[in-house]
């Protein structure tokens, strides 16, 4: 189906808002001091890489959990492939 200019612009605005919301939620996730301490004990040789990997994993889980919480609280449909 061909989009009108207005539909295309609305779709772009929605996608930008979704991206902004995901980035705010994603950036709010960080490793706790105890998680960093655990990494230091278990893998000191690759601490920087392991810390980055764990942070990325935690951020992805945070975005997913936020999307699920929104879905449960509201009567909106969340297109999960956008997350």
Residue (of 39, 79, 71, 74) closest to 55 by Cα position? 39
Q: What tens digit of pLDDT does each residue of 16-72 get?
A: 998 999 899 999 999 999 999 999 998 889 999 999 999 999 999 999 998 888 777
Report residue 46 as tokens: 């690759």
pLDDT of residue 68: 86
Q: 79 or 8, which is more confident? A: 8
pLDDT of residue 29: 93
For residues 25 and 66, the answer to whether their CB atoms sit within 8 Å is: yes
Burial class (CB in 10 A: 0-12, 13-18, 19+), 78: middle
| Interatomic CA distance for residues 77 and 44, integer angstroms | 43
């Amino acid at each position: 189906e061909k989009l009108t200019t207005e539909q295309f612009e609305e779709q772009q605005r929605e996608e930008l808002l979704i991206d902004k919301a995901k980035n705010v939620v994603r950036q709010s996730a960080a490793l706790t001091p105890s998680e960093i301490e655990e990494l230091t004990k278990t893998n000191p040789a690759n601490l920087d890489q392991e810390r980055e990997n764990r942070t990325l994993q935690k951020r992805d889980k945070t975005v997913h959990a936020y999307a699920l919480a929104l879905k449960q609280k509201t009567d909106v449909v969340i297109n999960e492939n956008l997350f």
